[in-house]
């Protein structure tokens, strides 16, 4: 009889251990999915109708806000709308002034109000926008390290018609970014 009881205890311990490992695995999978999708949640092409604002022929680049707070090493979302009145459809790229598109470097230079500069990354998808239509973007801003303070950044929308470089359109809009710890 003693052997039966000790065997029963061993099976119960194994079952509890298997259930605990399954719950741990599900927990780790959930946390990985939650934090792994953070870039995808920010950086995406969205429907222009989903925005409370829209670009048009008189205001071709519209930012969601003219100023925003950015915490060091944290991502922040910036939504914007771009209108294409170039006559043909165009591949539209959003970037921060001073970034190197040829090397696909998303880090741009922003001018500080106290004479300092900040390198802020703007990550955005490329979108094809038909002539006479507006496209909407959800972009991600990120500041890795440096000084806190207030900076003036220039967001640029580059519309490339893939035909002739002289017909490409470059739209710019300034945004004030306050960087906090």
Q: Are strands 169-180 and 67-71 parallel, antiparallel or unpaired?
A: parallel
- pLDDT tens for residues 75-119? 899 999 999 988 888 888 888 876 655 556 678 888 888 888 888
Taking the CA atoms of the chain, what radius of gyration do you get in angstroms?
24
Burial of residue 140 (number of CB atoms within 10 Å: 0-12, 13-18, 19+):
buried
Q: Cβ distance 55 to 83 under 8 Å?
A: yes
Question: 41-180 has which fold?
Answer: Immunoglobulin-like (2.60.40)
- pLDDT tens for residues 50-76? 788 999 999 999 999 999 999 988 889
Strand partners, 129: 90
- pLDDT tens for residues 4-43? 555 666 788 888 989 999 999 998 888 777 665 555 455 5
Distance CA 105, CA 58 (A): 30
> Pick from 179, 178, 169, 180: which is nearest to 135 by CA?
169
Domain positions in the chain are: 2-36, 41-180
């Amino acid at each position: 009889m003693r052997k039966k009881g000790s065997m029963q205890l061993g099976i119960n311990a194994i079952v509890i251990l298997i259930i605990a490992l399954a719950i741990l695995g599900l927990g780790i999978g959930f946390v990985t999915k939650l934090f792994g999708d953070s870039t995808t949640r920010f950086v995406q092409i969205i429907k222009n109708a989903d925005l409370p604002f829209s670009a048009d022929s008189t205001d071709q680049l519209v930012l969601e806000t003219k100023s925003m707070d950015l915490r060091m090493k944290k991502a922040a979302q910036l939504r914007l709308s771009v209108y294409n009145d170039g006559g043909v459809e165009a591949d539209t790229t959003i970037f921060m002034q001073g970034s190197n598109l040829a090397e696909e470097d998303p880090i741009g230079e922003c001018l500080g109000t106290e004479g300092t500069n900040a390198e802020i990354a703007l990550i955005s998808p490329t979108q094809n926008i038909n002539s006479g239509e507006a496209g909407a973007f959800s972009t991600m801003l990120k500041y890795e390290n440096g000084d806190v303070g207030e900076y003036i950044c220039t967001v640029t929308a580059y519309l490339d018609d893939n035909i002739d470089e002289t017909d490409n359109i470059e739209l710019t809009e300034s945004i004030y970014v306050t960087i906090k710890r």
